[in-house]
Amino acid sequence: MSKSNIETAQALTAEALGLNGDEWEVERCEFDVAREELSVFLNFTGQRSTCGSCGRRECKVYDTQTAKQWRHLNFLHCRTMLRAASHRVSCPSCGVRAAQLPWARQRSSYTLGFEYFVARLLGANRLPLSAVASLVDEPYARIRRLAAHYGKPS
């Protein structure tokens, strides 16, 4: 793939994820053929960010945390993971707190898109938890916790 095609693919991926181009960029994508897993590596490029506790915007970045991963919706039937080092902000109201990430809730290892997909399967489609866990290839206990967060009966 040419450099311009890679840049176009990264820009499309960032747009598909709803990332603000001023703060987050798609650094690279890697496909693990053996595991059939796509990894999208994200890099924070901003100087200021939103407080994850109170939602205050434009807080100064305090530090960077270790890299984490979030399960996202499958891409072309392949498991897709977002990988990034999250960061903390120095919030004038709250102190040092984890920054709000545009793609996930605090302390969740799933993206919002993945969570809404699961919630829809459980809610509108009324699939049982075990069927949803099997369908998305995630442990039953984790899907049960996710369902509880969204107020779905287990």
Distance of CA 39 to the CA centre of its chain: 12
| Residues 73-92, interacting with Zn ion (CB under 5 A) | 91
**Burial class, 83, CB count within 10 angstroms (exposed 0-12 / middle 13-18 / buried 19+):** middle
Q: In the window 12-51, what residues touch Zn ion (CB under 5 A)? A: 51
CB-wise, 82 or 101, nearer to Zn ion?
101
Applying the rule CB under 5 A, the residues between 89 and 108 that interact with Zn ion are 91, 93-94
Q: Does 134 bind Zn ion (CB under 5 A)?
A: no
- Give me the least distance between CB of 92 and Zn ion, in Å please: 8
What is the size of the binding site for Zn ion (CB under 5 A)? 7
End-to-end CA distance of the chain: 46
> Which SS3 state, helix, strand or coil, does residue 45 take?
coil
Helix (H) or strand (E) holding 90: strand 78-91
Instruction: Supply the DSSP symbol for 112.
Output: H
CB nearer to Zn ion: pick between 26 and 51:
51
Site of interaction with Zn ion (CB under 5 A): 51, 53-54, 56, 91, 93-94
